[in-house]
Amino acid sequence: MSGQAGEPGAVRSFGVDLRGIVDLLSRHLYSGPRVYVRELLQNAVDAITARGGGRGTAIRIEARGDGELRIHDTGIGLTEPQVHELLATIGNSSKRDPLGFARHDFLGQFGIGLLSCFLVADEIEVVTRSAVEDAPAVVWRGHADGHYTVRQGRREEAGTTVALRARRDFEHWLEPSTVMELARHYGALLPYDVRVNGEPVTEGTPPWERAWPTERERREALLQYGTRVVGTTPFDVIDLAVPEAGLRGVAYVLPYQTSPGEPAAHRVYLKRMLMGDRVERILPEWAFFVRCVLNSDELRPTASREQLYDDELLDGTRKALGGQLRGWLLRLAAAEPERLRAFLEVHSLGVKAMAARDVEMLRVVDEWVAFQTSEGAVALAEFRARHRAIRYTARVEEFQQFASIAAAQGIALVNGGYAYDPEILERLRLIDPDLDVRRLDPAELATRLDPVGPAVAFAARDFLRVAERTLAGHGCEPTLREFSPATLPVLYLEGTRPVADAREAGGVWAEFADDAEEQARPSLVFNHRNPLVARLTSTVNAEVVALAVEALYGYALLAGRRPMRPDDVAGVNRAFLGLVEHAVRRDAP
């Protein structure tokens, strides 16, 4: 029986369906046909590098608008055996060492780049002559259906010319203006002279590596470059350098607000070939207030060359770059507080995101970012100096509801309802270990509201009975207290305290401490200091009291911006119409 273990079978090679591979590349690996220009440029650059670069090196692209494109390089060229081995073998590359590692100086490594030309052409012709061996020129013609031919040809100089003829409906990819735009996009910083139809594509040394007569001129030039990148004048420019990654570049501080959810969009060049404009993961997540432009000679791309390979080097680079951005901010805080303030007006969110993880940034936020408090907009450092016990609300609505009451009861309250606020407030202990900072518990607030005197409580018995009956339908119960501000008639308090805490706290919750069910219920606290409520507690007409209680319940929910359930809405409607009817009836002759 054939195929059994130990029995040697005939050795065969895999067949490759080239159309299948091209389809795979175009649909799943590359973002679109445009990358064919990048791959051609890259091969030309690598061929010149392999030959040793130097004087007289040139890459010339001809696109005359006749559906053809030619790219000539003065690179190392290929002999006929190399053509078979390298051009006609998918996945084979001269840019890897015998162990399969990418050779350091080259852009390519995967041995698939040339296939991207099949995204726009059905046939690729390569005329090449080796600079190493004195061999005749070779003409290789590869077809998208997987067959190729090789013959001898003529070529005076060593180097390579790749020619493409556009596939039907793909002619626009070979139009002179498109080719120029793509060549500039990918190749502007390449270290060799690249021209399209005679026009230069390359700009030479990256602006951050150029020598400038003065630091001021350098900064001006970088800001100008940044204006092109960002689309508007950046707030500032920060130099970046990570020697382990052969990385240099700049970070532009954006003059407009960005949100943490927005994907980062950094322009990354690898060995001076553009990798992409929307490269992610090069900076820590919190650094969403900058856009970087940088070049690295050591970081590695994924096979699509559109994102960075996630390895230790990338991890270290990200940390180092994060440190440099942080350093910039700390220097600004120390030396230019006015500019820091201007920066924070736009980017407090980004800085808060950093402060949620980093103690130094926490100090910056503590000192410079104003928080909404029960005493107005104040920096946390100042608020801490005034109060040793600080409470915060985790929702903006809660703050709006409790701020004036808290202030009147002597509770120092901070609005912690925006992104990163609770983390920052909790972390304040790291820089101020004795600070008592906690989320405001409504039960704690309740304990600060004074009980009414025995005479008032006695007189309000009937009122409370009616209120209890009315509110039972809403799963809520009434309490009568006296508190400031007197303008506030009622306060809706959620019953969120665990039983044990409530017993310790005493006060209003202690009465219910033995009954967990009861204790978890919300309460509507009536403020006897409010004239309307005071009058209501001595109103005899039970129908009016019930209507008023239900109306005040609805008012408290609205004031606290709480969600209203259908039966809450029905109750408010009932109360409103009932009160109107009552008023009209009273007015009737």
Query: Residue 125 interacts with ligand ATP (CB under 6 A)?
Result: no
Place of tokens 């390979």: 309
CA distance 321 to 343: 19
Rg over alpha carbons for the chain, rounded to the nearest Å, is 37
User: Does the footprint of ligand ATP cover residue 140 (CB under 6 A)?
Assistant: no
* CB nearer ligand ATP, residue 42 or residue 372: 42
For residue 524, what is the enclosing H or E element? strand 523-527
Tokens 């009622």 — which residue?
490
113: contact with ligand ATP by CB under 6 A? yes
Is 112 among the residues that bind ligand ATP (CB under 6 A)? yes
Smaller CB distance to ligand ATP: residue 41 or 349?
Answer: 41
Regarding 87 and contact with ligand ATP (CB under 6 A), the answer is yes
317 is in an annotated binding site: no
Binding of residue 111 to ligand ATP (CB under 6 A): yes
Evaluate whether 59 touches 194 at the Cβ level (below 8 Å).
yes
Q: What DSSP string runs through 270-296?
A: ETTEEEEEEE-SSS-TT-TTEEEEEEE
57 binds ligand ATP (CB under 6 A): no
Q: Is 186 in the site for ligand ATP (CB under 6 A)?
A: no
| Residues 249/225, Cβ–Cβ less than 8 Å | no
Among 95, 352, 528, 529, binds ligand ATP (CB under 6 A): 95
134 annotated binding-site participant: no
Q: Is 533 a binder of ligand ATP (CB under 6 A)?
A: no
We find the least distance from the C-beta atom of residue 47 to ligand ATP, in angstroms, to be: 3
518 labeled binding residue: no
Amino acid at 444: E
Q: Find the binder of ligand ATP among 160, 202, 348, 519 (CB under 6 A).
A: 160
Stretch that binds ligand ATP, among 74-82, 168-176, 365-373, 506-514 (CB under 6 A): 74-82
User: What is the nearest approach in angstroms of ligand ATP to the Cβ of residue 53?
Assistant: 14
Contacts of 188 (CB under 8 A, 6+ apart): 201, 202, 203, 274
As a whole number of angstroms, the distance between CA 485 and CA 527 comes to 9
- Scored b (16 or more CB within 10 A) or e, 163-189 reads bbbbbeebbebbbbeebbebbbebbbb
Strand (E) or helix (H) holding 451 = strand 450-451
Residue 73 annotated in ligand binding: yes
| Residues 6 or more apart in contact with residue 430 via CB below 8 angstroms | 359, 362
Binding ligand ATP by CB under 6 A: which of 114, 313, 380, 406? Answer: 114
Beta strands in 3-106 (DSSP E): 59-63, 68-73
Does position 43 interact with ligand ATP (CB under 6 A)? The reply is: yes
Piece in contact with ligand ATP (CB under 6 A), picked from 87-95, 200-208, 317-325, 347-355: 87-95
Using CB under 6 A, list all residues that contact ligand ATP.
39, 42-44, 47, 73, 75-78, 86-87, 93-95, 108-114, 160
The annotation places the binding site for ATP at 39, 43, 73, 160
